[in-house]
């Protein structure tokens, strides 16, 4: 662990989802950008509270899907009619009705890969070592803890003011996470 004097951020724990949500909107109002809330399950309306833009994942998936479709059709048409055309049951070489199932399967397959990898890409995972884990309490975030962390990387960040704000928002516990 490197010793930068600048901490990673200030972590505050809240009693329940409701308080966390209020805190989140307040922190947003206070002009912070680089902050995040941590909870054992996704909380309704937290995105609005934090003012997050909708996820871009959909587009990634769409892209993959299209590739799958074109790839599937191209593969079948080329192999069956150009690469080695064969007379099969008196059917035409380009027998599109028969190409549907495989093309469909490929669309789904690629799209799923898109969704899967896209999600981790957008979430910057895998990231096994995370300064956040320097906190001992944070592990409750996967159990029954509700946290909010204002990160030092935020231009408006100052340890004092952040702690101040969070205390006022009714945090049950506040700590500074070393980077």
**Segment interacting with other proteins (CB under 8 A) among 3-11, 95-103, 158-166, 170-178:** 95-103
Q: Which of residues 152-171 bind other proteins (CB under 8 A)?
A: none
What's the rounded Cα separation, in Å, for the pair 175 and 50? 21
Token pair for 66: 């299209």
Which of 4, 51, 74, 102 forms a contact with other proteins (CB under 8 A)? 102
Residue closer to other proteins, measured from CB, 92 or 158: 92
Q: How much is the CA Rg of the chain, to the nearest whole Å?
A: 25
For 155, the token pair is 């231009």
Cβ proximity to other proteins, 84 vs 160, nearer residue:
84
DSSP state of 138: G
| Closest to 149 (Cα-Cα) out of 129, 159, 2, 1 | 159
* Chain residues 65-94 in contact with other proteins, contact rule CB under 8 A: 75-76, 79-80, 83-84, 86-92
Give residues 129-148 in contact with other proteins (rule: CB under 8 A).
129-130, 132-136, 138-144
Closest separation in Å from C-beta 9 to other proteins: 12
Burial (0-12, 13-18, 19+ Cβ within 10 Å), 159 = middle
Nearest distance in Å: CB 159, other proteins: 20
């Amino acid at each position: 662990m490197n010793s930068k004097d600048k901490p990673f951020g200030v972590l505050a724990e809240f009693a329940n989802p409701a308080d966390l949500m209020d805190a989140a909107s307040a922190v947003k109002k206070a002009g912070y950008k680089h902050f995040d809330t941590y909870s054992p399950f996704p909380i309704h309306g937290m995105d609005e509270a934090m003012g997050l833009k909708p996820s871009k994942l959909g587009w990634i998936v769409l892209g993959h899907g299209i590739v799958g479709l074109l790839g599937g059709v191209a593969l079948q048409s080329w192999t069956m009619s150009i690469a080695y055309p064969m007379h099969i049951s008196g059917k035409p070489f380009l027998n599109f009705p028969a190409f549907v199932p495989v093309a469909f399967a490929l669309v789904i397959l690629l799209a799923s890969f898109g969704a899967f990898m896209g999600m981790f890409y957008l979430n910057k995972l895998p990231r096994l070592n995370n300064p956040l884990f320097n906190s001992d309490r944070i592990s409750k975030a996967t159990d029954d803890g509700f946290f909010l962390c204002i990160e030092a990387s935020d231009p408006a960040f100052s340890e004092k003011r952040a702690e101040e704000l969070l205390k006022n928002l009714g945090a049950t516990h506040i700590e500074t996470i070393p980077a």
